[in-house]
Amino acid sequence: MMDDTDRAIVNALQGGFPVSDHPFAEVADALGLREADLIGRIAAMRAAGVLSRFGPMYNADRFGGHNTLVAMQVPAERFDEVAAQVNSFPEVAHNYQRDHALNMWFVVAGESRAEVDRVLTEVEARTGLPVYDMPKIREFHVGLRFEA
Amino acid sequence: MRQLDDLDRRIVLATQEGLPLVPQPWHQVAAGLGIAPALLMERVRAMQADGIIRRIGAVPNHYALGYRHNGMTVWDVADQDIEAAGAALTALPFVSHCYQRPRRLPHWPYSLFAMIHARDEATAAGLVDRLAAALGPMNRGHRVLYSTRILKKTGLRLGGS
């Protein structure tokens, strides 16, 4: 379980980790912790899955590839089978079941729009179901912070 | 828009899974790449300045933090209102992502997507109400699609080829 110190670390470190010679020592000073204690707590939260990552968050759009959000209407009796078919593509990055007639929503990422199109065609062929391709037209920027 | 060069790509590949949890993580990454720490840190700062790196720090697993009610709110907004509507939604601090996407008529009239996260259902419903209030008459109809199961979550990655 997270204690108050863990929460303070997560709330303080959702951005702004220093790019410097001794970044953990700088953060530890600001939080009133010892460097080794801070590193140990972050490692423990990583191991426990409270943190999914610790490090730079990259803007994948800038990697030069293309990605899109795709929805499918999957019959309930075929849901797990279709999920396995869709997830078998390495280009499928996230996939969520959602409570709507369009009940499967996943992100396809590739090196190019042509590669994404090829994957979508293969997904339709393998599953026998149409895909609704909804690539981002524009992004509105946010500043996200979760309260831990 | 600046493209990544070869060294940038090697830095992305070396750090996209996370930084080593050691007192000098940037030095360790630099050593692994065979470059000087000062060069590594200069490149990382440049990628931050260019927006290639959104932020550096802890990426919480929102489920593990108790945020179990994760809703994709979708809004039917006239094309000429999209900019004002996107600005209105992202002005609220609890929206984590907000995108304009194409409608897929007749099945899908919604063009503006905003993600919200809450610890309980009542709070989530309250957040949706605040989004609707922020849009006012620009909102011609909306839905909230809650995630009921994570089927796959690997994140977007730069390939190693």
Residue A116 belongs to a domain with what CATH number? 3.30.70.3460
So what's the pLDDT on residue A146?
59
Q: Are residues A86 and A123 in the same domain?
A: yes
Q: Is residue A21 part of a domain?
A: yes
Q: Are residues A16 and A76 in the same domain?
A: no
Q: Is residue A139 part of a domain?
A: no
pTM above 0.90, yes or no: no
Q: Is residue A41 part of a domain?
A: yes
Q: Are residues A106 and A42 in the same domain?
A: no
User: Which positions in chain B touch A104 (Cβ < 8 Å)?
Assistant: 151
Cross-chain CB nearest to B95 (options A56, A95, A142): A142
- Domains in chain A, number: 2
CA distance B158 to B38: 24
pLDDT of B160 above 60 = no
The per-residue pLDDT for range B89-105, each reduced to its tens digit, is 999 988 988 999 999 99
Q: Are residues A65 and A127 in the same domain?
A: yes
> Helix B25-33 to helix A23-31 angle, to the nearest 10 degrees?
170
Interface probe, candidates B1, B26, B56, B92, chain A, greatest A C-beta count within 10 A: B56
3-state secondary structure of B13: helix
Number of residue pairs across A and B with CB atoms under 8 Å?
A: 226
| Selection from B141, B148, B78, B102 nearest residue A70 by Cα | B102
* Chain mean pLDDT for chain B: 91
The per-residue pLDDT for range B46-91, each reduced to its tens digit, is 999 998 898 999 988 877 888 889 899 999 999 999 999 999 999 9
So what's the pLDDT on residue A88?
94
The per-residue pLDDT for range B106-124, each reduced to its tens digit, is 889 999 999 999 999 999 9
Q: Are residues A73 and A129 in the same domain?
A: yes
Q: Are residues A80 and A17 in the same domain?
A: no
Q: Is residue A141 part of a domain?
A: no
| Selection from B35, B29, B49 nearest residue A23 by Cα | B29
Which residues of chain B from 121 to 140 reach within 8 Å of chain A, CB to CB?
none
Domains in chain B: ranges and CATH: 6-49 (1.10.10), 69-146 (3.30.70.920)
Q: Are residues A82 and A128 in the same domain?
A: yes
So what's the pLDDT on residue A71?
97
Q: Which residue of B has its CA nearest to A80?
A: B151
Q: Is residue A53 part of a domain?
A: no
Those residues of chain A that have pLDDT short of 70 are: 143-148
- Is the four-CA dihedral B146, B150, B151, B155 of positive or negative sign? positive
Q: Is residue A124 part of a domain?
A: yes
So what's the pLDDT on residue A18?
98
Q: Are residues A64 and A43 in the same domain?
A: no
Q: Are residues A38 and A83 in the same domain?
A: no
Show Cβ contacts of residue A50 under 8 Å, excluding neighbours closer than 6 positions. A2, A6, A10, B60, B61, B64, B65
CA distance A17 to B20: 13
Q: Is residue A144 part of a domain?
A: no
pLDDT of B43 above 70 = yes
Which residues of chain A from 73 to 132 reach within 8 Å of chain B, CB to CB?
83, 86-87, 92-102, 104-107, 109, 111, 132
Q: Are residues A33 and A68 in the same domain?
A: no
Q: Are residues A90 and A126 in the same domain?
A: yes
CB-based contact B98:B90 (threshold 8 Å): yes
- Give the domain extent around A11: 4-48
CA distance B67 to B44: 31
So what's the pLDDT on residue A148?
60
CB spacing of A62 vs B51 below 8 angstroms: yes
Interface probe, candidates A35, A50, A62, chain B, greatest B C-beta count within 10 A: A62
So what's the pLDDT on residue B84?
97
pLDDT of B17 above 90 = no
So what's the pLDDT on residue A145?
60
Cross-chain CB nearest to A51 (options B41, B55, B60): B60
Q: Is residue A39 part of a domain?
A: yes
